[in-house]
Amino acid sequence: MSADSSLAIGMLAASVIVIFSYLLDIFSHRIKLPSVLLLMGFGILLNILVSVTGLEAPNFTKILPFLGTIGLILIVLEASMHLHLTKDAIEVMSKAALSALILLLSSSFLIALFLQLVSGDSFHHCLVNAIPFSVISSAMAIPSTQNLSEEKREFIIYESTFSDILGILFFTLAANNLGGVNDWVIGITESVIVTVFFSFVFTVGLVWLVTKLRNHVKFFLILFLLLLVYSLAKLFHLPALLLVFLFGLALNNTLLLKKWKWVASKIDLMKVQEDLKYMQVSATESTFLVRTFFFVIFGYSLQWSLILKLQVFLVSLAIVVFIFGFRYFYFKFFAPKHLFPESLIAPRGLITVLLFYSIPTEMQIVPVHLGTLFLVVVITALTMAFGTWKFKGNSINS
């Protein structure tokens, strides 16, 4: 096959995927299923088609971590750019952050104990493998909040975002150096303080830059500046996603800076509000594109031989039971106001896949592989779909 033919087929495939994804997005709203499930299904069908026709296709799985990182940044940025800092919102944020922390830690340790029982491997290795399954995917949770009440919607956005941030930090600490409890507490505290400080400096500088740019192409410059700082923060094992979240939050609440005259005198706050609308639309469009290719490639990379095994199904089901069992218990006794549908909205997705591919080779254990990952993603997504459909009316009126 000539280079021109390969290029033409590649462009054709990309065009079909994007157009089909748009149609799937419309269709998913009507049948009340998360669009990512349909995208993964489409990826599986593509894999079958390639196998049947005998076409040669490159190994796309190598670009999944890069696509996932871009997607994660975009999703958190898009969500945070729609949040308003009010007294009520800060209260919801604090409850969501506490929920994310407690459920992340409890789920990780429970699943790790189960994996140790099944595999016989060390608890440390099992914990590293358990953390990806304990993180809520904001990529799937946030789009599901459209029909919820404002308070419940904000709770899910905050909780899933903090779950992503804390999950990445927890995973980084566990994968690099287990240490003692004191080391973990000190490490997390130092990381958060340093990140918040640099986030403040970076956010003020970036907001100032937004007001000074005269070129219409400014969103992708901002995005790749965020990616640059995100990458640098990752090198120093800092919670880089927190920086993205704080920047988006600050961008949507710049009018609060009026209280600080020295900042207001340097930054045209009204200009930022004008540019914000353009950036929100750009973030939404870009998120759609990146998420489309990520989940289609993830579905394409799956092997049925890893899924169609009784042991894989039982392990996956047990992990899901731990996830929702403890989640229901927590909301029932400590946050009854958010029992339904929030206790059913805990999908695993993009962030879980990203962390799964980040597990060091020497720490990988037998019960955890792509088949387990796929089934957990599918079951938690279906549970979320049931929750948002079943309690739709109650959520809006609450």
CA dist 210 and 85 (Å) reads 21
Q: 312 and 380 in contact (C-beta within 8 Å)?
A: no
pLDDT value, residue 287: 84
Model-level pTM? 0.81
**CA-CA distances (angstroms) from residue 140 to 3, 169, 397?**
37, 20, 23
CA dist 112 and 213 (Å) reads 49
CA dist 263 and 206 (Å) reads 13
Residue of 6, 31, 50, 8 lying closest to 296 (CA atoms): 50
pLDDT value, residue 397: 40
Q: 43 and 299 in contact (C-beta within 8 Å)?
A: yes
Give the CATH number for residue 78: 1.20.1530.20
Q: 126 and 115 in contact (C-beta within 8 Å)?
A: yes
CA dist 158 and 142 (Å) reads 9
Q: What is the CA radius of gyration of the chain?
A: 21
Residues 31-60 as b or e (16 or more Cβ within 10 Å = b) = eebbbbbbbbbbbbebbeeeeeeeeeeeee
**CA-CA distances (angstroms) from residue 271 to 206, 212, 214?**
13, 9, 11
Residue of 385, 372, 391 lying closest to 132 (CA atoms): 372
pLDDT value, residue 11: 79
Q: 245 and 161 in contact (C-beta within 8 Å)?
A: yes
CA dist 378 and 398 (Å) reads 28
Q: Which residues, 6+ apart, have CB-to-CB distance to 316 below 8 Å?
A: 371, 372, 375, 376, 379
Q: Give the chain's residues under pLDDT 50.
A: 395-398
**CA-CA distances (angstroms) from residue 137 to 111, 331, 336, 381?**
17, 19, 22, 10
Cis omega (within 30 of 0) for bond into 341: yes
> Which residue blocks in the chain are alpha helix, DSSP H?
3-31, 35-53, 64-80, 87-119, 123-130, 138-141, 150-176, 181-212, 219-235, 240-252, 261-264, 269-300, 304-307, 310-334, 350-357, 370-390, 392-397
Range of the domain at 195: 3-397
pLDDT value, residue 330: 92
What is the DSSP code string of 298-358?
HHHT--HHHHS-HHHHHHHHHHHHHHHHHHHHHHHHH-GGG-TTGGG-----HHHHHHHHT
Q: Please give the tally of structural domains in the chain.
A: 1
Residue with tokens 């896949």: 353
Q: 223 and 286 in contact (C-beta within 8 Å)?
A: yes
386, two tokens: 């049931």
Residue of 189, 179, 291 lying closest to 239 (CA atoms): 189
